[in-house]
Amino acid sequence: MKAALVAGSPGGVRAVAQRRRTTRPGGDAVVEDVASLVDELRAASEHPVEAVGLVVPGIVDEATGTGVYSANLGWDDYPFRTEIAAATGLPAAFGHDVRAGGLAELRQGNARDLTSAVIMPIGTGIAAALVLDGRVSSAPGEIGHVDVGHGDPCGCGQTGCVEARASSAAIARRYVQRTNRQVNGAADVARLLTEGDADAAAVWREAVDALAKGILLIAALLGPQAVVLGGGLALAGPKLTDPLGGRLDELIAFHRRPELRLAALGDEAGCLGAALLAIDMLEDR
Amino acid sequence: MKAALVAGSPGGVRAVAQRRRTTRPGGDAVVEDVASLVDELRAASEHPVEAVGLVVPGIVDEATGTGVYSANLGWDDYPFRTEIAAATGLPAAFGHDVRAGGLAELRQGNARDLTSAVIMPIGTGIAAALVLDGRVSSAPGEIGHVDVGHGDPCGCGQTGCVEARASSAAIARRYVQRTNRQVNGAADVARLLTEGDADAAAVWREAVDALAKGILLIAALLGPQAVVLGGGLALAGPKLTDPLGGRLDELIAFHRRPELRLAALGDEAGCLGAALLAIDMLEDR
């Protein structure tokens, strides 16, 4: 759980104090922890606290302020917005973590010159915020769970999902399965790749291929100016974007080839986006 | 070329006079024919003509009023909006045929109760208008040219495209290739299917499979409430929607299953949508 006291305007915000906690599952536990983090952050700064923004993963209904479903965090139609407002006594905004991170990249990160973009954090899973006509869409953007034809099973019950080969978790897992050697995440596989390890190269190439095919679908349906890669895997930088751009060039026919960019805000994006949702809500009153 | 004199408001319009002509290729020829159709329609009615709306296929830039590219109709960055205004002396709106048809279905057709929908006409080709957060997005929506894994080549240069198996043209062509018997379009194949023709059943099943996989991608990325099927193939009605819904139920894992609907406006949708673009433009002044 990442929390920050954030100051700024709808055009841009910055964190002035931060806290982290291990997330306890369940909606009630999250609300309780948010309320105590608000107290802590309030005590830590001279800034007055005017509103709370909370963003969560899973299926989110922004219109009703509901956490519809999260397998990992264990809730089902939990009314976060009203519960957070009741627990903190503050106006509360509620949204989806990936879409909020995309909003932050759009307002103050590496998508701020764009009117159409797909902002795609790649970590344990892969999802995307879809920026269309200058706005972050409420669409689910589940690019991690589209079938790109490799046939491997995915935890979601489908086969061929982008996430099953290209998430940081999948890259590390597939390297271990292939070699029986332990690695400390996808960053290790990226390092081994640079050192000329043939297994790392194969796993990396298959990840890049799955990602390129996912981006190709995005290019056909949405035609974004750019795909902005974030999350842990984007720390690989050109080791990711160079082969990915090359594979995309090979595959693309007549669709507009989106520019590939790296996200600017790192793992702060969600926090900043949550604050932007709260500030937008205050402005709209 | 379908032309209509249309009366109404942004909430709904109706055609009061109509004309059809064979399209002559080239931007200049289209502008000339539009100007003469405007004169004819003006003469045919008591209604004053206040504006012109033109919609075309291919790649369209709505913001600049440009026909960016059409392989079939032979233009390249043609400034339709300014040329139509100059040739007719009327304010001109310009857009994309499929997106304009989607706008008409959203305002007064079978998507009018929806805030998210994919409106997909299936004819010679397959494209889609994407309705997100209550608006028709400017996204290209090229669902006909996403790879769903069947491996057949497509005229676009890719393989596995939805359009290569599921367009009306592909269904008719594939039946002829398989049987060496002539048919008069996909409607004939649908009729043969009802009569128990095994080849028609096989071609139809493969078309349905490709469409279901395309809709699955849409469900993952966009999560629409409904997919609204239009164009010639949708005239097959439940012969299309029943097996398509069944296949979608088999394939879908955790994404929201979009409702399948048939479009309401038939081949008038583009004309009505063009008029809605023109009326919206007049209202915005």
CB contact A68 to B (< 8 Å):
no
Of the candidates A210, A31, A59, A187, the one whose C-alpha atom is nearest the C-alpha of residue A123 is A187
Distance from CA of A105 to the nearest CA of B (A): 19
Q: Is the pLDDT of residue A171 over 90?
A: yes
- pLDDT at A76 (0 to 100): 92
Nearest beta carbon to residue B137 from set A133, A148, A255:
A133
**Does residue B255 share a domain with residue B120?**
yes
Closest alpha carbon to A210 in A155, A156, A143 = A143
**Nearest-CA distance from B166 to chain A in Å?**
17
In whole angstroms, give the CA distance from residue A244 to residue A260.
8
Confidence of residue B70 (pLDDT cuts 50, 70, 90): confident
Rounded average pLDDT over A26-31? 96
What are the tokens at B129?
A: 């208008």
pLDDT of residue A285: 82
The torsion defined by the Cα of B23, B25, B28 and B29, in degrees rounded to 10, comes to -40
Residue A157 lies in a domain: yes
- What whole-number percentage of chain B has pLDDT above 90? 91
Write phi, then psi, for A190 (nearest 5 degrees).
-65, -40
- Token pair for residue A27? 């909606």
Q: What is the pLDDT of residue A254?
A: 83
Q: What are phi and psi of A121, to 5 degrees?
A: -75, 135
Which single residue is written with the structure tokens 């769970």? A145
For residue B110, tell me if it sits in a domain.
Answer: no
Asked if residue B50 lies in contact with residue B36, where contact means CB atoms within 8 angstroms, the answer is no
At residue B161, the pLDDT reads 97
Q: What is the rounded CA–CA span in Å between residue B171 and residue B174?
A: 5
Q: Same structural domain for residues B271 and B250?
A: no
Side chain identity at residue B4, one-letter code: A
| Terminal Cα-to-Cα distance of chain A (whole angstroms) | 28
Question: What is residue A253's predicted lDDT score, i.e. its pLDDT?
Answer: 86
Same domain, B82 and B128: no
Residue A181 located in a structural domain = yes
- How confident is the model over B111-116, as a mean pLDDT? 97
Query: What is the DSSP secondary structure assignment for residue B225, as one 8-state letter?
Result: S
Q: How far apart are CA A162 and CA A126, in angstroms?
A: 8
Locate B187 and state its tokens: 């409607």
Cβ contact B213–A147 (<8 Å): yes
Same domain assignment for residues A255 and A271: no
Report yes or no: A245 and A260 within 8 Å, Cβ to Cβ.
yes
A87 and A146 share one domain: no
pLDDT of residue A70: 86
Residue A93, in any domain of the structure? yes
A45: DSSP letter:
-
B150 touches chain A (CB under 8 A): no
For residue B254, name the pLDDT band (cuts at 50, 70, 90): confident
The pLDDT value recorded for residue A86 is: 98
Which helix (H) or strand (E) is B77 found in, with range?
Answer: strand B75-78
Q: Is 90 exceeded by the pLDDT of residue A112?
A: yes
Each residue's pLDDT tens digit, A121-142:
999 999 999 999 999 999 999 9
CB-closest option in B140, B218, B254 to A156:
B254
Please tell me the distance from the alpha carbon of residue A131 to that of residue A67, in angstroms, as a whole number: 22
Q: State how beta strands B117-121 and B129-132 pair.
A: antiparallel
**Residue A107: inside a domain, yes or no?**
no
Q: Examine the pLDDT at A47 and tell me if it is beyond 90.
A: no
Nearest to B220 among A132, A146, A222 (CB): A146
Residues A31 and A45 in one domain: yes
A29-43: average pLDDT = 96
Question: Does residue B105 register a pLDDT over 90?
Answer: yes
Nearest CA-CA partner of A233 in A201, A198, A271, A267: A267
Cα–Cα distance measured from residue A54 to residue A39, given in angstroms and rounded to the nearest whole number: 15
In this structure, the strands spanning A226-230 and A117-121 are parallel
A108 lies in a domain? no
The parent domain of residue A43 ranges over 2-101+267-283
For chain A, give the percent of residues with pLDDT over 90: 92
Using only C-alpha atoms, what is the Rg of chain A?
A: 19
Of the candidates A82, A22, A21, A20, which has an alpha carbon nearest to the alpha carbon of residue A52?
A: A82
* pLDDT tens, residue by residue, B34-66: 999 999 999 988 888 999 999 999 889 999 999
Contact call for B217 and A216, based on CB within 8 A: no
Rounded Cα distance between B67 and B150, Å, is 32
Distances (CA, A) of A204 to A167, A245, B37, B192: 11, 14, 58, 49
Distance CA B251, CA B253 (A): 7
Cβ-defined contact of A253 to B223 (cutoff 8 Å): no
Average pLDDT over residues B254-272: 94
* pLDDT tens digits, one per residue of B171-212: 999 999 999 999 999 999 999 999 999 999 999 999 999 999
- pLDDT tens-digit series, residues A145-166: 999 999 999 988 999 999 999 9
ipTM score for this prediction: 0.94
A45 pLDDT more than 90:
no
Q: CB distance A133–B135 less than 8 Å?
A: yes
A262 touches A234 (CB < 8 A): yes
What average pLDDT is seen over chain A? 96
Contacts of A133 in chain B (CB under 8 A): 135, 137-138
* Predicted local distance difference test score (pLDDT) of residue B45: 86
- Residue from B103, B137, B162, B249 to probe the interface with A (highest A Cβ count within 10 Å): B137
Q: Do B74 and B119 belong to one domain?
A: no
CB-CB under 8 Å, B132 with A222: no
Contact criterion met (CB < 8 Å) for A145 and B116: no
Residue at B177 is within a domain? yes
Interface test with chain B among A72, A99, A131, A137, by most B beta carbons within 10 Å: A137
Over its C-alpha atoms, chain B yields an Rg (Å, rounded) of 19
Tally Cβ neighbours within 10 Å of residue A18: 14
Which amino acid does the sequence have at A222? L
CATH number for position B225: 3.30.420.40
- How many domains are contained in chain B? 2
Question: Do residues A70 and A98 touch, judged by C-beta distance below 8 A?
Answer: no
Quick check: A255 and B142 CB within 8 A?
A: yes
Quick check: B5 pLDDT over 90?
yes
If you count residue pairs, one on A and one on B, with CB atoms under 8 Å apart, how many are there? 107
Q: Is A58 on the interface with B (CB under 8 A)?
A: no
Q: Do A221 and B135 touch (CB under 8 A)?
A: no
**Shared-domain flag, residues B34 and B119:** no
**In the structure, what pLDDT confidence band is assigned to residue A214 with cuts at 50, 70 and 90?**
very high
Copy the structure tokens of residue B103. Answer: 């706008």
Name the burial class of residue B153, with classes exposed (0-12), middle (13-18) and buried (19+) by CB atoms within 10 angstroms of its CB.
exposed
Q: B29: closest CA among B94, B70, B74, B59?
A: B74
Helix axes A80-88, A27-43, angle to 10 degrees: 40
Let me know whether A125 and A87 are in one domain: no
